[in-house]
A and B are shown apart, each in its own frame.
Chain A
Amino acid sequence: MVNYKNKELLTKLGPLFGLLLLIIIVSILNPNFLSIANIFNVLRQVSISAIIALGMTFVILTGGIDLSVGSTLALTGAVAASLLAGGTDPFVAMGIALVLGLFLGAVNGVIITKGKVAPFIATLATMTIYRGLTLVFTDGKPISNLGDHYTFQLFGKGYFLGFPVPVVTMVISFFVLYFILQKTTFGRRVYAVGGNEEAAKLSGINADRVKIAVYAITGFLAALSALILTSRLNSAQPTAGESYELDAIAAVVLGGTSLNGGKGWIFGTLIGALIIGVLNNGMNLIGVSSFWQQVVKGIVILLAVLLDRKKTA
């Protein structure tokens, strides 16, 4: 009992040790990895998937899953792009995209709670629906010529105090979400609903409302990622964000959050996303073929989960 807390802390910090180990290995194999330019590069790449994964953490903590994030990203990105291309004020365009993301997420939540559909099925369906809507909206073609909006350009490509703006966005998102999850009553309710939904309901918690909120948050964050991606590419692709849901889920799991809900923490997700980012970048630097990269990535995820299982057993 005495070392209970230490053990818990060790379990929580496991992913961090994994990340450090990975960084050491990669930088020994290719010292260029540690250059500022490359580190910024990794962080910028990671920021998009990390922001989605942060939202996914909320959903998974309630015991749910959201497969529709990639499609939400594509649809909100396309809407923002077409508004910009049409000359809308960039702040208005970005605001509309974010609200749309929030709405698409809330729709998931309503289907799951009011329709009593399993989250996997519900979001599998909306994944297809949102992707289809994106194709209809864009007519299957990329939207480019977004105009020369400085603020919008800044969002994906700019620097703030010497740091890439997407990285800053990721860090701010992390701190806000960390605060919500750890310090607010809403965060406590998220853990409670995932830990024991029946007990939570019987303690006067509106579990449906909590669930709708977490899916809405995830939708909002997917839209935020969409803005970064659209800004970086200066166009919106109808196929953007495909399989992003899997990277997000992988990051959450690598971070030690249980797919059964109720257990986990959001810092782990950030680490998980970084592990995937470093792995991708490192393997490119070392010159591993892209085919083998997938195999390695899969093995790393599997190893992480197996290690985690062993610790908790």
Chain B
Amino acid sequence: MIEMSGISKAFSGNVVLDKVEFKLADGEIHALMGENGAGKSTMMKILSGIYTKDSGNIKVDGQLVNFKSPKDAEKLGIHVIHQELNILPDLTVVQNLFLGKEKTYGKTGILKNREMEKEAAKLLSKLGFNINPKKRAGDLSVGQQQIIEIAKAIASEAKYIVMDEPTAALTDREIETLFKTVRELKEKGISFVYISHRMEEIFAICDRITILRDGQYIGVRNIPETTFDEIVEMMVGRELGERFPTRQCEIGVTKLQVRNLSVNGLFENISFTVNKGEVLGVAGLMGAGRTEVAQTIFGYRKASNGEVFIDGKKVSIKSPIDAMKYGIGFVTEDRKTQGLVLDFSIQENIALANLEKCSSSGVINKSKQQSMVTKYIEELKIRTSGPEQAAKSLSGGNQQKVVIAKWLGTEPEILILDEPTRGVDIGAKKEIYHIINKLAESGVAILMISSELPEVIGVADRVIVMQEGKLTGEVMKEEMTQEIIMHYATGGEKVGQL
């Protein structure tokens, strides 16, 4: 049992945790929730010895402890699985499992390979995970790698496992496998701290939930006794109202038409249309080829076949520059690797797709740049100390808004949004939905790729579903249910509930 009480922490005078409580019982799955910047990760970094607390107590099994390094925490069985997995793709599963803890003949440094392999096989089968331990870890799916991480924790006799957004990159089926594993380990008395923005998952797997807001402890609830709305209210400190705001919008004529678009080996014969003022959802499992379709429309990938029409006219888009000329904007999936130059300021990032507008004859016009940026910071409610703030120091939700602002600056007529709310907290999510609505109302044709089914159903007017590079279905607003979309996304296989 872990009891953290009165935990405070400040960074250079900036209080990020103020007397926060957190209790983790043995054999429970405990969600830690809060908006970005609420202090969840700081709390977990203190628990795992990465940060030291300024004040407060941590007790493990009733014993007062004081961690000076992650090693100290690990000795007591506290193990963190970070969002970015610590898997070395070129090593085998066994090598990953025993990384840094290799079994050797005495102190010679000579490895006991066979023994480690045997032990790994035993461990994996105990976890109900059938995989060849000699397989290269990079060849596993992200979901399987996640389970390897758990196996690593178990191998080092972890009793408390902290999981940070474990399902962000998993397919629904992988999530099921993960949950099964977690539940089984829970039966054996292992406790989990589960950090996620996905409410459905938390209600599906967690026993209790602790809520933080702005570095403060707000409360703890037993999952069966609380509601979605109560949790959201605790998190944002106010009633959020409708999760998906409605929009009043006339759907106009066809804006974008894609006909038989293919890229060899990735997807084939994709055809669909998006109308002015319409939000077309694109659902499917991870790896179904949705992002690749978007990249191809945007000219970032070369189509091997197919045609694209804008306003009824056939267009040839060979590069993002061409796409932008036709009024297409593309809010990419991964803001850190594709959306932002992290070392750039907010202002420089927003200007990046709008350099022509922010300059005259090649020289950057500071005041033009400034007025554009200030406008979007206000319009999108980007919370920042100013346009000069570095993008990397913003929270996920605000980073996402910067990427959106960059594309709004280009005044797109067609906007592709690829997972627009991934890793974004619930308050910012709603603000992003508002932005989508406003754009649609002003006549922009929107293509929204999303893996969160409630989001697709709540936001899209119509949804197309892809499975393994093929278009498998189209669902109208009235008919949208999670079941029917999943049915198409999995190619008709039966899908269990979460």
Contacts and interface: CB of A to CB of B under 8 A. Distances in A.
A186 B364 CA distance: 9
Given A201-B320, A206-B321, A262 B343 contact: yes
Interface in B315-345: 319-321, 323-324, 330, 332, 337-344
Interface in A175-192: 183-189, 191-192
B401 interface: no
B352 A203 contact: yes
B362 A185 contact: yes
A111 B95 CA distance: 39
A203 B364 contact: no
Contacts of B356: 185
Given A184-B362, A185-B364, A186-B362, A202 B342 contact: no
Interface string A2-24: 01110000000000000000000
| Residue of A188, A189, A203 ringed by the most chain B CB atoms within 10 A | A203
A185 B388 contact: no
Given A185-B359, A200-B352, A201-B300, A262 B319 contact: no
Interface in B346-386: 348, 351-353, 355-356, 358-359, 362-364, 385
Contacts of B304: none
A105 B344 CA distance: 28
B330 A202 contact: yes
A239 to B, nearest CB: 39
Contact of A262 (B339, B341, B355, B359): B341
Contacts of A186: 362
A173 B351 CA distance: 27
B362 A191 contact: no
B324 A191 contact: no
Nearest to B332: A202
A263 interface: yes
B357 to A, nearest CB: 10
B79 interface: no
B364 A195 contact: no
A303 B141 CA distance: 44
A5 B389 CA distance: 9
B497 interface: no
Contacts of B341: 191-192, 195-196, 199-200, 262
A262 B344 CA distance: 9
B343 A198 contact: no
B108 interface: no
Given A202-B332, A204-B353, A195 B342 contact: yes
Given A1-B393, A204-B324, A206-B321, A199 B340 contact: yes
Contacts of B359: 184-185
Contacts of A201: 300, 320
Nearest to A260: B343
A189 B355 CA distance: 9
B264 interface: no
Contacts of B352: 188, 192, 199-200, 203, 205
Interface residues of A, number: 26
A188 B353 contact: no
Contacts of B248: none
Contacts of B340: 196, 199
Contacts of B389: 1, 4
A219 to B, nearest CB: 21
Nearest to A205: B352
Contact of B355 (A4, A188, A263): A188
A4 B12 CA distance: 11
A202 B403 CA distance: 11
| Residue of B341, B353, B359, B362 ringed by the most chain A CB atoms within 10 A | B341
Interface in A260-288: 262-263
Contact of B348 (A188, A204, A263): A188
Nearest to B390: A4
Given A196-B341, A262-B341, A185 B300 contact: no
B406 interface: yes
Contact of A1 (B14, B300, B323, B362): B14
Contact of B321 (A3, A199, A204, A262): A204
B351 A188 contact: yes
A201 B388 CA distance: 23
Contact of A199 (B338, B363, B364, B388): B338
Nearest to B344: A195
Interface in A144-170: none
Contacts of B323: 204
Contacts of B332: 199, 202
A202 B364 contact: no
Given A185-B355, A195-B344, A203 B362 contact: no
A199 B324 CA distance: 14
Contact of A188 (B298, B338, B364): B364
B362 A199 contact: no
Contacts of B343: 195, 262-263
A280 B75 CA distance: 54
B247 to A, nearest CB: 27
A263 to B, nearest CB: 6
A20 B345 CA distance: 31
A4 B386 CA distance: 12
B353 A203 contact: yes
Nearest to A263: B343
| Residue of B323, B332, B343 ringed by the most chain A CB atoms within 10 A | B343
B320 A203 contact: yes
A196 B342 contact: yes
A204 B363 contact: no
B180 to A, nearest CB: 36
| Residue of A5, A192, A205, A263 ringed by the most chain B CB atoms within 10 A | A192
A183 B361 CA distance: 11
A202 B330 CA distance: 8
10 contacts: A1-B389, A1-B393, A5-B388, A185-B356, A192-B352, A195-B344, A199-B340, A199-B352, A204-B353, A206-B319
In order of increasing CB-CB distance, the 10 nearest A-B pairs are A195-B341, A203-B353, A185-B355, A196-B341, A203-B352, A204-B324, A204-B320, A204-B321, A185-B359, A195-B343
Interface of A: 1, 3-5, 183-189, 191-192, 195-196, 198-206, 262-263
Interface of B: 12, 14, 298, 300, 319-321, 323-324, 330, 332, 337-344, 348, 351-353, 355-356, 358-359, 362-364, 385, 388-390, 393, 406
Given A185-B355, A198-B338, 14 more contacts: A184-B363, A185-B356, A185-B358, A185-B359, A186-B362, A187-B364, A188-B364, A189-B355, A195-B344, A199-B337, A199-B341, A202-B320, A202-B339, A206-B319
